[in-house]
A and B are shown apart, each in its own frame.
Chain A
Amino acid sequence: MPAKDRSEFIKSVVAGHRPAAPMMLPGRRALIWFALVIVGTAIAMRVDQEYRPGFTEQLLQHPALLIEVAAAFALTLLGAYAAFVRAVPGERVPRWAVTALWISGILFCAGLAAEFTHLAPESSSLGARAHCWTEVPIYGGAGMLAFVLMVRRGVVRFSWLHGLGYGIAGLVPGTLMQLACMYEPVHNMLYHFLPALPVIAIGLVLMKRLAIRAARE
């Protein structure tokens, strides 16, 4: 595009000027998104089938499960926060958030490992759901869509962190499934968390495409 004269250029840009209400701060957007996703997913799962009987007692009696669930939610919230922050030009993810992200990630992995020890609830088929492995990507995809809608105006370029933020939506149904479906470590890995991986992969691809489109515009 050949450069226009300065004043001509400014006039042409201003001619199409419309009010542009500033977006909410990233922290607030992340909280809203997280609340919407967690409530929406929890309700959708409850409508489909009852939660596992006695899951609250299990949470209280087995700190390993409580830590795993709490760390997964913290990871989701912080990941979304980081992604929202990265969507704003010039904003940097605060150091405390990066540290908290790492800590929750480590705790989540430790919680997953603890499932194979005596610290975890006993394995049983109580509360088994027929389609838990398909529910996870469906609800995760809906969460990701909500994320895309909330962040699309802010996508200016590709960021792996941003893409992971899209995909991290898959962790919410995966974690809730730990409470709603049967508890058995191998089943948990294969049917609750593994189906979240495609959501993460799709999040990265989607992010890349949006960033390419934004760059072209």
Chain B
Amino acid sequence: MNLAPRPAWNTVATSLAQCSRVGGRKADSTDFDRLGHLARQAQAGDIPACESLLGELYAYVRRILGARLGPFADLDDLTQECLLGMHKSLATYHPSRNIRPWVHAIIRYKVADHFRALVRRNETALPDELPDPAPTATSASHGSGDDSGTSTDIHELLRALPAPLNRAVVLTKIDGLSCEEAAKREAVSPAALRKRISRAYAQLARLMEAKLESEDHAR
């Protein structure tokens, strides 16, 4: 893991805007036209259309999350959260609009909520369990393919964090050290390390949301 010093924000923003367009690679405008059509049918109460819509969105959302978050989330869990949000908010999609910004906005909200939940969880009790790298590997088995840029984004965002926060996350979540071991290595108390991880997650939530939003605007 590269622990390079924090680059200037505008450099990060530029590189983020240029980097992965995983969603765009797989799902072209035709796919979104179809998704929009399915969404309209689902709004009318068509159950098979709703099933198809969720099925197609499942693969799409999972691929995007895999590319953005890599090992930082249980991809299936978060994908299902996103799909539940989309199903619940189906009425907010207007048939005359492109469905893509709508889908991406809900993904963005859920990703930010995911990081906020991590902050809360970390503040109450340190989750020493490591994120299972398996989701990244299994994403291919879901037929989503194209995960060549897996977790590039999260690593980019990690580099944008201040060095102490970056190291706290890398040691515990990437290198797999326990909180006590990481605290010893950083010469701080476990509580202080936990605080750093919380702050890192909070910053990651903001950065990820801003990044996804800037990408949506760029499209």
Question: Interface residues, chain A, CB within 8 Å of chain B?
Answer: 1-4, 6, 9-11, 13-14, 17-23, 25, 87-92, 153-154, 156-157, 215, 217
Known: A88-B94, A89-B92, A156-B109. Contact between A19 and B77, CB under 8 A? no
CA distance A9 to B77 in the complex (A): 10
Shortest beta-carbon distance from B190 to chain A in Å: 28
CA distance A157 to B112 in the complex (A): 10
Kindly identify which residue among B80, B89, B100 contacts A4, using a CB–CB cutoff of 8 Å: B80
Kindly identify which residue among B91, B109, B216 contacts A23, using a CB–CB cutoff of 8 Å: B91
CA distance A21 to B105 in the complex (A): 20
* Chain A residue nearest to B40 in the complex (CB): A22
Contact count A vs B, C-beta below 8 Å: 95
CA distance A156 to B95 in the complex (A): 19
- Residues of chain B within 8 A (CB-CB) of A217 are 88
Residues of B58-92 at the interface with A, using a CB-CB cut-off of 8 Å, are 58, 74, 76-77, 79-80, 83-85, 87-92
- Count of residues in B whose CB is under 8 Å from the partner chain: 42
Shortest beta-carbon distance from B157 to chain A in Å: 20
Known: A6-B142, A10-B55, A89-B92. Contact between A22 and B76, CB under 8 A? no
Known: A3-B76, A6-B58. Contact between A17 and B42, CB under 8 A? yes
- Residues of chain B within 8 A (CB-CB) of A13 are 50, 54, 83-84, 87
- Residues of chain A within 8 A (CB-CB) of B102 are 88-90
CA distance A10 to B84 in the complex (A): 9
- Residues of chain A within 8 A (CB-CB) of B79 are 3
Q: Is the CB of B45 within 8 A of A18?
A: yes
Q: Is the CB of B94 within 8 A of A25?
A: yes
Shortest beta-carbon distance from B141 to chain A in Å: 11
Shortest beta-carbon distance from A94 to chain B in Å: 13
- Residues of chain A within 8 A (CB-CB) of B33 are none
Q: Is the CB of A88 within 8 A of B51?
A: no
Q: Is the CB of A90 within 8 A of B103?
A: yes
Most B CB atoms within 10 A — which of A1, A6, A25, A217?
A6
Shortest beta-carbon distance from A157 to chain B in Å: 5
Main secondary structure of the interface of B (DSSP, over half): helix
19 interchain pairs, CB-CB under 8 A: A1-B77, A3-B77, A10-B83, A13-B84, A14-B50, A14-B51, A17-B45, A17-B87, A19-B43, A22-B93, A88-B92, A88-B94, A89-B93, A89-B109, A90-B103, A90-B104, A92-B217, A156-B109, A157-B113
Q: Is the CB of B58 within 8 A of A10?
A: yes
Known: A10-B58, A13-B83, A17-B45. Contact between A87 and B92, CB under 8 A? yes
Shortest beta-carbon distance from A32 to chain B in Å: 16
Q: Is B44 an interface residue (CB 8 A)?
A: yes
Q: Is the CB of A21 within 8 A of B91?
A: yes
Across the A-B interface, the 4 shortest Cβ-Cβ residue pairs: A90-B101, A19-B45, A3-B76, A90-B105
Shortest beta-carbon distance from A2 to chain B in Å: 7
Q: Is the CB of B45 within 8 A of A3?
A: no
- Residues of chain A within 8 A (CB-CB) of B188 are none
CA distance A90 to B32 in the complex (A): 14
Q: Is the CB of A3 within 8 A of B74?
A: yes
- Residues of chain A within 8 A (CB-CB) of B50 are 13-14, 17
Shortest beta-carbon distance from A58 to chain B in Å: 43
Q: Is the CB of B80 within 8 A of A89?
A: no
* Chain A residue nearest to B103 in the complex (CB): A90
Q: Is B12 an interface residue (CB 8 A)?
A: no
- Residues of chain A within 8 A (CB-CB) of B13 are none
Kindly identify which residue among B45, B80, B90, B217 contacts A9, using a CB–CB cutoff of 8 Å: B80
* Chain A residue nearest to B51 in the complex (CB): A14
Q: Is the CB of A21 within 8 A of B76?
A: no
Known: A13-B54, A89-B105. Contact between A23 and B47, CB under 8 A? no
Shortest beta-carbon distance from A71 to chain B in Å: 30
Q: Is the CB of A20 within 8 A of B90?
A: yes
Known: A6-B142, A13-B54, A19-B43. Contact between A215 and B94, CB under 8 A? no
